Every structure is written in C-alpha cells, then in structure tokens.
Amino acid sequence: MECRWDKVWPHWCPKVLNINKTISEYVNEWSKLRPDSIALSFYGRDITYRQLDSLINKLANAFVYLGTQPGDRIGLFMQNCPQFVIAYCAIQRAGGIAVPLNPMFKSLELEHETNDAGIKILLCLDSLYKEVKKIKSKKSLEAVILTSLQDFLPDEPSLQIPEEAKQEKMQYTETIELLDLINKFSDEPVNRVKDLHSTIALLQYTGGTTGMPKGAMITHYALSYAAIASMYWYRFRENDVFLGVPPFFHIMGEVVVMCCALVSGARNIILSRFSPEVAAEAITKYRCTFLLGPPTMMIALLGIPELREKYDLSSLRIVWTGGAPISTELQAQIKEVLPNVAIGEGYGLTEVTSQGGAITPLYRYKPGFVGIPNIGVEMKIMKDGKEVGINEEGEIVIRSPAMFIGYWNKPQETEEVLKEGWFYTGDIGLMDEEGYLKFLGRRKEVIKCSGYSVFPVEIENMLYMHPAIKEVAVIGVEDPYRGESPKAFIVLKEEYIGKISQEDIINWCKDNMASYKRPRFIEFRKDLPKSAAGKILKRVLVEEEKKKGEHSNGF
C-alpha cells in the first residue's frame, strides 16, 4: 500500500523490520563481533563491548541471586553513568522490568513512583540516597544497591567532571555496594526473556489527563524496534560516536542515544551532567558524530563565546532536536555554525517509545515540520471521529510497532487512549501532501519545560501540602529559554497573608520538587476565577497572561 510520504522515504531504510533480540542481546552480539571496540567512555574511562557484556552478566546473576523473578520491577535512580547502562541491560537479562526514575526527584515524587510501580530493588547513586531515606512508605522496596560516580571514573579524567563526582564516596550500612556485588558473581550468560512481544522490558513514567505520572508498559519488542528503527533511519554504524548527554532516564535519551548506540555497536561518550563547554570539549576530543538534545541544549551550545574558535565540531554529521518544538530560527543558527551536518527533529511520546512517531528524513528537513512517520508507523489526523484531509488540523493518532501496551495498573486510562490498536495522543497537528507532520500544540494543560512534560495537577497537589496555601492553579507561561515554565496563582489562607512571600513559596518548591517542574513565577491573589459550579477557570488565567506578554521576573 502506497503512502503519501513514499516519495521522500529514505532509500536506505526498510519499511518492515524483523526484531528477534532484546537490547542486551545486541550488546552480547557486538561483544563477539567487535569485542575490543569501545562501547562506553566516561570522562576518560573506556569500557569495551567485551567488558560491558561481562559486567551485565555479573549483575544479572546478582539480581537472580537476590531473588528477582520475571516481571519484578527494579528502579534506576541515577544520572547518566556506565552503571545505568550496565544495570538497565542486566535487569533485562534477569527477566526484570526496568523503571528509570528522574534523578532530580525529591522524596515525595520518588515515593509515588516507587510505590506505584512496586519497585523491589533500587539502584541509586550515593549522592541521591538522602532522598530515598526520606521516603516514609516503602511498601515493596526490599533492597537498595548503592553506587558512586567515582566507581567508574578514571584516576585522571579527560574532561571536567561535575561537582558531585568530586565528593567523597558515601556508604550506608543498610545498602549493598554495587561493585562488591558485581565482583561476587561470575559472568556466566543469563537470559530469562522468553517472548519479546509479551514480556515487559520497561515501565516508563509519563503523564496523562489526570496529570499524575503513569507507567507506560513497553515490551522488549517495542523497545528493540524503536532502537533498530533509529539505527536504520540515521544510518548509524559501528564507527559512529554518540554524545551521551541527554538524560538516560528520559525516553528520548534512553532510546535514541543509549539503546541505539548499543544496537549499532557504536561508542557512547557519557556525560553525567550537561555543561555547554564540557559537551563542546567532548565533541572536539572524541570526534562525536551524533548530537541530540532539546532546543534549550542547542541554545546553550551555540551561546558559547567564540565557539568556532575554541572548539572543533566538524566531526558531527547529525544534529537532532526533540522533546520540545524547535524554531526555524534556531535550526538556521545550527546550520550556520555547522553547515555540513544533517539537521532535523522528531515527534514522539513515551507511549510510542520516542521513535514510534514522526521524524525528519535525513537531508530532507522542511522548516516548520517535524517529519514523516517512522519505519512501520501509521499516522492519521482525526477530528470528530473522522480522518481529515491534507493540511487540516486535528488530533494526532498513531499505530506503531514501538507502541506501549497500556498504563501500569490503570485500565480505564488505557482504554481512553488506546482504541482498536490506535493511540490517541491528545496532541494537535496536521499533515501536508508529502506526509510531513506539523505539530501545533500539546495537550490542553500540559506544560513543556526544556523537553520535559510537566503536569499542572501534580504541581498543584504538591503545593497544597504547603500550610499557607488555600487555593492554587498552575498554568504554563512562555519562557524564551525553556519554551514554557509553570506559573502558580495562589490564594493564601487568611492567617498567612502578609506573613509569607513569593520567594518563601519558591524556596519551598526548591526543597520539594524537581528543578524543571517547580514554578518559576508566583502570583498571590485574593481569589481565583471560577465557574458557576466552583471549578477554577484556568483558561481565564491563560488569557490574562497572554495580554500581559513576556514575563520579566522569575526565581
């Protein structure tokens, strides 16, 4: 069956994929084909595919020894580091389900996802363990395995390391040391995954109409499909060098950077934290060929003084953005600085494993448009129950081999978005005559901050924990750097009026919310606009903000 995007389809890309391996099995295959090729580099510490495969097997055997049963959930609470990659693949081989957790989480957020997923084992960086200790209810958690960034750092780092990596390693008697655990077990091969199509590999938390995070269940087939499809689309091979700076806990960095590098047999230069100068130095030193990140990261890189004089970025062949819409002006700036690179962007969601949506065909970037449906993906624009015509607006609806199978323990929410094999995204867009998708807007109230989805209801629920707050409503406002930022409209309890400031609220948010999520703007009000039924009218607040124009004061 012909599609309207056939004429712009990359000729090197198949239209059907045969997936028969998990991500960790591809690592094992490369360990046999190119055992001494470098898989991971961490500030100068290199790990070959042979070494990586051995470490994965040792940890997988340790998980089995600790009682991991097929389907058990194991959490990953850490920044980008080799341990994340090792544990991610080891969980697969042991038959478990990986649950990546945002390392910026505070205890309240961590507690919700840990208990909702029923996490039994948590792998955690020592610098983040203080938030784990604050969790009041650990219903299912049986063991915490602790590691440090220092565990895999070389004696003399080749790049500037972040401050947290300079701290003395912390130890806690109630935890298990990761390196000690790995060294106790052999690297005897283990693979407890029997059926790729039905076995869940990943519980990736996202949000939905209720605003609270939900666990998207992603099978091994969907995960491998997304990674292999990316490999073909970008023409990746074993001599490519990825800059591993997008967060691995986030679906975009996890699939397109971490997993895709592994299935391609490529080298991944892992940075635990983004710094424009360190990223530019890494590209220069290691001759990176692929750079992916949200628009905010590109803005920061391009903003380095004397960028072209100080750094050599000529090795890059692909510079891609995702996680948030990018302006045509920013894409033009990228091409001006890097005239020989292929540029593009993608549209995907956690529910379609990031790459199960639309993506720019290499060398066919169309300003203002995301791209065409990826390998095996079907996409249509729906309105009032019918598919609309060319260049007509409607809801983006997707059917993809890389699609999730439902939300964890949430059948009603699953039924609301999965209908007859199609995923109703709630996002608005249109498709032109060549099948290029133009993304027009996110779900009605979701705030997109630096590529992260921020849900007003979740922020409101947390703010209501503050003793001074009587009523609160959160909306997204324009932010020239982040795209959008949360703004909270607050009605104080009478006894707190004049006794608490906007900065007091901001400081409380800093202590209780991840940095990308907390409100950047606070406005105190005597009351909030409401309907006759007593419902807060956020649309009134949104219209008021539009009239005010750009914000000039934030915290």
Confidence (pLDDT) at 480:
81
Residue 174 belongs to a domain: yes
**Radius of gyration of the chain, Cα coordinates, nearest whole angstrom:** 23
Residue 269 belongs to a domain: yes
Residue 2 belongs to a domain: no
Confidence (pLDDT) at 294:
85
Instruction: Report yes or no: 155 and 128 within 8 Å, Cβ to Cβ.
Output: no
Are residues 115 and 215 both part of a single domain?
yes
Are residues 331 and 464 both part of a single domain?
no
Confidence (pLDDT) at 236:
97
Are residues 332 and 372 both part of a single domain?
yes
Confidence (pLDDT) at 462:
86
> Which of 264, 263, 199 has its CA nearest to residue 236?
264
Are residues 251 and 372 both part of a single domain?
yes
CA distance 501 to 307: 41
Hey, what amino acid is at 322? Answer: G
Q: Final residue of a domain: which of 364, 395, 428?
A: 428
For 267, the enclosing helix (H) or strand (E) is: strand 267-270
Within 8 A by CB and 6+ apart from 543, the residues are none
Confidence (pLDDT) at 137:
76
Are residues 324 and 185 both part of a single domain?
yes
CATH of the domain at 532: 3.30.300.30
Are residues 280 and 205 both part of a single domain?
yes
Are residues 98 and 186 both part of a single domain?
yes
Q: Final residue of a domain: which of 428, 457, 487?
A: 428
Are residues 398 and 471 both part of a single domain?
no
Confidence (pLDDT) at 442:
61
Residuewise pLDDT in 10s, the chain (555 residues): 578 899 999 999 999 999 999 999 999 999 999 999 999 999 999 999 999 999 999 999 999 999 999 999 999 999 999 999 999 999 999 999 999 999 989 998 899 999 999 999 999 999 999 999 998 777 789 999 999 999 999 999 999 999 999 988 999 999 999 999 999 999 999 999 999 999 999 999 985 434 578 999 999 999 999 999 999 999 999 999 999 999 999 999 999 999 999 999 999 999 999 999 999 999 999 999 999 998 878 888 998 999 999 999 999 999 999 876 677 778 888 999 999 999 999 999 999 998 889 999 999 999 889 999 999 999 999 999 999 999 998 899 999 999 999 999 999 999 999 999 999 998 888 999 999 999 876 666 778 888 887 778 778 878 988 999 988 899 999 888 888 899 999 999 889 999 999 999 999 999 999 988 899 999 999 988 875 445 678 878 988 988 886 544 444
Q: What are phi and psi of 176, to 5 degrees?
A: -110, 135
CA distance 201 to 219: 5
- Strand partners for 508: none
CATH of the domain at 242: 3.40.50.12780
Are residues 75 and 101 both part of a single domain?
yes
Token duo for residue 99: 């649950």
Q: What are phi and psi of 511, to 5 degrees?
A: -80, -15
Per DSSP, the three-state class of 407 is strand
Instruction: Report yes or no: 60 and 90 within 8 Å, Cβ to Cβ.
Output: yes
Within 8 A by CB and 6+ apart from 74, the residues are 63, 68, 87, 91, 96, 97, 98, 99, 119, 120, 121, 122, 123
Are residues 50 and 165 both part of a single domain?
yes
Number of neighbouring beta carbons within 10 Å of residue 401: 23
pTM of the model: 0.84
Are residues 121 and 96 both part of a single domain?
yes
Residue 23 belongs to a domain: yes
> Which of 2, 444, 464, 535 has its CA nearest to residue 210?
444
Q: Which long-range contacts (CB under 8 A, 24 or more apart) does 186-191 make?
A: 186/57, 186/58, 186/61, 187/53, 187/54, 187/55, 187/57, 187/58, 187/61, 188/57, 188/61, 189/28, 189/57, 190/57, 190/60, 190/61, 190/64, 190/93, 190/94, 191/22, 191/24, 191/25, 191/93
Residue 133 belongs to a domain: yes
| CB hemisphere CA count around 145 (13 angstroms) | 21
Token duo for residue 231: 């490999």
Total domain count, the chain: 2
CA distance 202 to 84: 14
Are residues 265 and 329 both part of a single domain?
yes
CA distance 214 to 454: 13
Residue 362 belongs to a domain: yes
Segments forming the whole domain that contains residue 198? 16-428
Instruction: Report yes or no: 77 and 51 within 8 Å, Cβ to Cβ.
Output: no
Q: What is the dihedral of CA 48, 50, 54, 55, to 10 degrees?
A: 10
Residue 183 belongs to a domain: yes
Residue 361 belongs to a domain: yes
Confidence (pLDDT) at 121:
98
Confidence (pLDDT) at 247:
93
